[in-house]
Amino acid sequence: MKKLKVPLIFFFVLSLGVMAFSSSSSILGKSEQDVVKSNNQFAMDLYNRLSGGTGNVFFSPFSIFDALSMTYAGARGETEAQMKKVLHITLSQKEFHPAFSNIIKEIKSEAAQGKYDLNIANALWGQKEFHFLDAFLSLVEKYYDGNFYEEDFSNGIRAANDINHWVDKQTDGKIEKIVGKISPLTRLILTNAIYFKGKWVSSFSASMTKSTTFYTSPGETVKAKMMYQESDFNYMENDILQAIEMPYNGEKLSMIVLLPKDRYGINEVEKTLNSSNLEKWLSEMKNQKVKVYFPKFELKTNYELEDTLSSTGMKDAFSDADFSGMDGRKDLAISQVIHKAYIEVNEKGTEAAAVTAVVVTLTCSPYSKPEVPPVFRADHPFIFFIIDKQTGSILFMGRLTTPK
């Protein structure tokens, strides 16, 4: 594996966040706010696609958005137009990538304070002796901090080992493998990795954790380890849901939980879930005492997103593609978009990781405060986010239907 130096220094960005879509405007410029909005809208679209069944859902919309944004930098013509629409990008290529970079810098500055662990990394793995345009490699290095490594994809096992070793290192061993044996037709693999570990501002006492019933669906229950505490949280409720913010140390990142009031009302909440409503619900939160029951859980997910993304509108990227911005020719197309994610929630806090790989190959074909503390009993399916309050971007997102 040989690392190639490209003339420009690269920056990688991670958009987290929710608690305040509103407060983000005070620290971000107009272009940066547009990128945050694009990421969040893409997150909602992808959640709607992935939540069609009844099981658990967990992914990092930011990781997928980031990896596809690097790929988008090399798209041209109709392929570029389709990707721009699916990613909800409103800016030109010239404006978009620097704005994304500025968001990364903000997130990095927050993590550098040492209140929590946060690693974000990008890398490009290209076929040795295959000509990529200097402008493309320079852009990815400058704005996504994406180092470029030469690989020999004719030896797919060795190349996969190099990439998987990088993934394992960037996620602190939580995700050990993202690719299997690689096709010799592969010319470029774009990877993004995110790792987060943070402690609650208000931790749960292990002595209060009890085994109790979790209602997965009508007529079906499982046992869950339910944590408990009564403390001050930002909280709101309306006719269909309760929402709570549980911040991590440093109070830059938080977990937001949307709990249906109806034990089996997850589908009703999902029907109303969009960026505008989420912003509205968060703006209605007030700080007050809440009795919180919340399950310990651990999830591992694995998605192959080619069909999902193609069906949302970026069909050409996988077939009649134009990625001439990468190599100057129209001979490349995306063959795979692989995403793996991990999360563990316990009394101390949360550990989460996600990796996305885009494989590019040669083409062959209203709230009112109650007088007593409300009870937030998450003993049935709910939606949750990990968000960055400074920028307002969604980092991780999921649905828990069965704690494991």
> How many angstroms separate the CA atoms of 305 and 310, rounded?
8
Fold classification of 2-198+299-362 (topology level) = Antithrombin; Chain I, domain 2 (3.30.497)
Tokens of residue 157, six digits = 């096992």
Local structure of 206: helix, strand or coil: helix
Strands 117-127 and 186-199: antiparallel
How far CA 169 is from CA of 6, 105, 166, 366, in Å, comes to: 23, 22, 5, 46
pLDDT-above-70 percentage for the chain: 91
3-class secondary-structure state, position 15:
coil
Which amino acid, residue 65? F
pTM (predicted TM-score): 0.90
Residue 92 CA to residue 54 CA, distance in Å, equals 38
In the CATH hierarchy, which fold is given to the domain comprising 200-296+367-400? Alpha-1-antitrypsin; domain 1 (2.30.39)
pLDDT grade for 53, boundaries at 50, 70 and 90: confident
- Between CA 82 and CA 86 the distance in angstroms is 6
pLDDT digits (tens, 9 = 90+) for 69-110: 999 999 999 999 999 999 999 999 999 999 999 998 788 777
Using the structure block, give the residue that is written with the tokens 């044996």.
181
pLDDT at position 22: 44
The two tokens of residue 225 are 């380890």
Among the listed residues 115, 73, 71, 110, the one whose alpha carbon sits nearest the alpha carbon of residue 392: 110
CA pair distance 292, 289, nearest whole angstrom: 9
Domain-wise residue ranges, the chain:
2-198+299-362, 200-296+367-400
Q: pLDDT value at position 11? A: 20
Element (H, E) at 43: helix 30-50
In whole angstroms, give the CA distance from residue 345 to residue 323: 40
The tens digit of pLDDT for each residue in 224-274 reads: 999 999 999 999 999 999 999 999 999 899 999 999 999 999 999 999 999
User: Partners of 253 in the beta sheet?
Assistant: 388
